[in-house]
Each structure stands twice: as C-alpha cells, then as structure tokens.
Amino acid sequence: MNYQHRTNDLEAFWMPFSANRQFKKAPRMLVSADRMHYRTDDGRSVLDGTAGLWCCNAGHNRPKIVEAIRAQAGELDYAPAFQMGHPKVFEFASKVVNIAPEGFDHVFFTNSGSESVETALKMAVAYHRVKGNGSKFRLIGRERGYHGVNFGGISVGGIVSNRKMFGTLLTGVDHIRHTHDLARNAFTRGEPEHGADLADDLERLVTLHDASTIAAVIVEPVAGSTGVLIPPKGYLQRLRAICDKHDILLIFDEVITGFGRLGTPFATDYFGVSPDIIVTAKGITNGVIPMGGVFVKSKIHDAFMNGPEHLIEFFHGYTYSGNPIACAAGLGTLETYKEDGLLTRGAELAPYWEDALQSLKGLPHVIDVRNIGLIGAIELESIPGEPTKRAFSCFLDAFERGILIRTTGDIIALSPPLIISKAEIDQLIGTLAQVLKDSI
C-alpha cells in the first residue's frame, strides 16, 4: 500500500470555528506555553489574554497538573466507564462537589461543554418523566445564548451563525429575549441597572405553551461567546422565581463562569441564585485534558434512584466519562487552584481590571465596554457592509504585537488566566489600546 503524503501539513486539518483559508495563507502557530505566555514558532512571546479559550484558568504548564497526568498515564490509562469504576473518578467527584455551590452533591462527567449541555437537557426531560410529568418536554433557551455545538446545544442556543446551516433542529424549543441593551447600559461597570424585567419574557412563553409542557430553561449567567452580556441586576433572581412558580428546572451553563472566573468558585455563588443543574467544562481540568461535568441537586439525582437495583437508572453516558487521565488532571487542577487561591483571586483583581478596561472608553470605534470578574468585552462599531472585519483586524494586529485576544462578531472578548498580575493587565490593555488607536 502506498503511504505517500497526499497533502501538505496544513491542508489535512479542517480547523474548527476558523477562517481556514485565511489562516493557512499566514499560519499563527503556538508551539509552547508557560504560565501567562504562549511562544510562537518564530520565537515570539504572546501574552494570553483569553486563557486559551476561556479554559486555562491557572495558566499554562502548571507542575501539579503535568505530574498528575504523567503519573496516571503510567498507572492506569483507561478503564471502562459503564458498570465499572476506578478510584480516581470517585476521588475527583468527591473533591469537585466539595467546591460546588451548596446543594450540588452529585456530578456526571462528560468530555466537553457541548456534551455537558446535552447531558443536562436530557436529565431535565427525563427528570420530569420519572416524576410522572411526561408532558414537560419543551426546552427554553435565550437569544444570543451559546450552549455548545451539538444539536441540542444549538437548538437552545441563539447565535444565528451556529444555527442557520443545520436545518431542522430539536422540536419543542423556544427562546426568551437576550439582555443586551446598548442604548441604556453602555459602559456600565459590572451588572447593568436596566433590564431585570426581561426575565418576564419567560411568562410570555408560559402563556404561549403552558407551563405543563416546559421542562427547563437554560441560560449562561454571563453570556460569554456571544460577546460578554452581563445580566442586569435582579434578572437571574426573577428568572429563578418564575421557574419555581411553574415547576420548570433552571439550568445554568457555567462552562465559562465556573472555576473562579468571576472571583467566586461559580457564578451561582457570585449572583446568589441557585439553579437546579450546573453545566461545566473548560476550567474543570484547566483545559489540559477534555472533560466536563454536570452538577445536580440531590432532588434530581435521587428521582432516578428507584426500581430494581440491577437496572440502569439513566440511559446516557460516554466512553470517556470520568477518564482516568482526565480525572488525574482534574485533581491536579483543584490542587493548583487551592494552592494559588485562584477560585477567589479574581475578586481581588476585579477593580483593577475594571478600571483598566474602562480606560478604553473614547478610543476609535469603541461603542461599549463591559466587565465582570475577570471577564471583559469591548464592542466596536462595525464597518458598513463588512461585519466582523474591524474586530478580526484587531485580533490579527494584537497577535503581531504580542497579545492574544478573542473576537466574536465585532466584539473583543478578554478572559485572562486568573494568575495574571497587575503589570500584565497593564500590558494587555495598553497594547490593546494601541491596536484600537491604529484600527481601521
């Protein structure tokens, strides 16, 4: 058989969420990383302003995580996840629920945020069935919401580009309005004053569909991938109250906000609102090994624990649920978070971060700046007829100047590792200011 190369090294890989043709004309290659910095193939140091993809909360190349993975790979590389177990998965589950918000005593492991969302949606529908409420099948998302890329996730999600190419999605799905109100809330520091009443849009859907058909509502406490949309004061509390009123489960997608991003372990802690299910991934292993986790309250878990003990209670799972090496990475991650105080460090840095971000107000084309915890967004005025071009041009320029930022539409999003120093915040925002001053 002829094993000659049919393509060059760049052609074979169909890159995710990327402008493949543009990238392959001028590749941006990262070859190593340590703490706050990436190194490129041409030897340049790049400050990580995005924690990879919102996931490397402890920075890069952290010794406890690296050593945990190395040791586990030499001891137990894989164990079956169905009807079998291994010590690390039970140890990690016990330790990770101990930092979860009060009442979340059980975790179901997945391999990504997308899988965590699918799992949570299935749990919600199945929960009502095992409780005898089989008519509750509808799932309610939110406009501009991002819940991963599987069919369930894009169905409840509300980002048009993620939905428009994929035909008929899940049936029985509807959406409440998003919370972005540029006219009233531009340049707000933290939670906007206006918009708590937008939660009442759920009552409109209850009137349309009847509460007896609605299983769950899923929202990101802070909508990340759509451009950092921060909930108005009181909004999440009102959403919780409406769900309670109509026996609707509330799911928080904390894939981004979980594990210290807001200066608390979870957004649930930050806002003081307790959902029924919490969806996580990313920071659960510091992004080093793919893993996700769905945290549930005992009422959800216990509802399934009925019938003969030899029967499977929940027909769902993945080959790699609770993979030994992923669990080892998770344990190393929790140790690193604890050692460096990273689950709460964001609260100490948040005021400095806020002032630095808000200093960008008044720069060319900046129409809004948003911040909460160690998350920030700079919304730019779009170039007429060329949406997304201005922000993408800033992304390319920023990379050349030694900082990594993320763009979505014409919004620049920032979410640095939680180990960032004030001097590095100055470097990140100062460089970005120069990029914006020189932007087209």
Do 269 and 182 lie in one domain? The reply is yes
Average of per-residue pLDDT across 365-379: 98
Helices (H), 131-216: 151-156, 160-163, 182-185, 201-209
Instruction: Provide the pLDDT confidence category of residue 439 given band limits of 50, 70 and 90.
Output: confident
Do 39 and 131 lie in one domain? The reply is no
Do 414 and 311 lie in one domain? The reply is no
Do 225 and 94 lie in one domain? The reply is yes
In a domain, 8, yes or no: no
User: Which tokens sit at 177?
Assistant: 């309005």
| pLDDT tens by residue, 271-330 | 999 999 999 999 999 999 999 999 999 999 999 999 999 999 999 999 999 999 999 999
Instruction: Provide the pLDDT confidence category of residue 46 given band limits of 50, 70 and 90.
Output: very high
| pLDDT tens by residue, 179-191 | 999 999 999 999 9
Domain that holds residue 272: 66-340
Do 296 and 429 lie in one domain? The reply is no
Angle value at C-alpha 223, between 105 and 140, nearest 5 degrees: 70
pTM: 0.97
pLDDT exceeds 90 at position 230: yes
Do 289 and 219 lie in one domain? The reply is yes
What own/partner pairs with CB < 8 Å and gap ≥ 24 does 295-300 have?
295/97, 295/100, 295/101, 295/104, 295/106, 295/107, 296/104, 296/106, 296/107, 296/108, 296/123, 297/103, 297/104, 297/105, 297/106, 298/103, 298/105, 298/106, 300/106, 300/123, 300/127, 300/249, 300/276
Q: Which of 340, 355, 374 is the last residue of a domain?
A: 340
Mean pLDDT score across all residues of the chain: 96
Do 81 and 57 lie in one domain? The reply is no
Nearest to 291 by CA among 322, 265, 254, 332: 322
Which element (helix H / strand E) includes 413? strand 411-414
How many structural domains does the chain have? 2
In a domain, 34, yes or no: yes
Q: Which of 340, 358, 393 is the last residue of a domain?
A: 340
| pLDDT tens by residue, 382-392 | 999 999 999 99
Instruction: Tell the burial category of 35 from Cβ atoms under 10 Å away from its Cβ (0-12, 13-18, 19+).
Output: middle
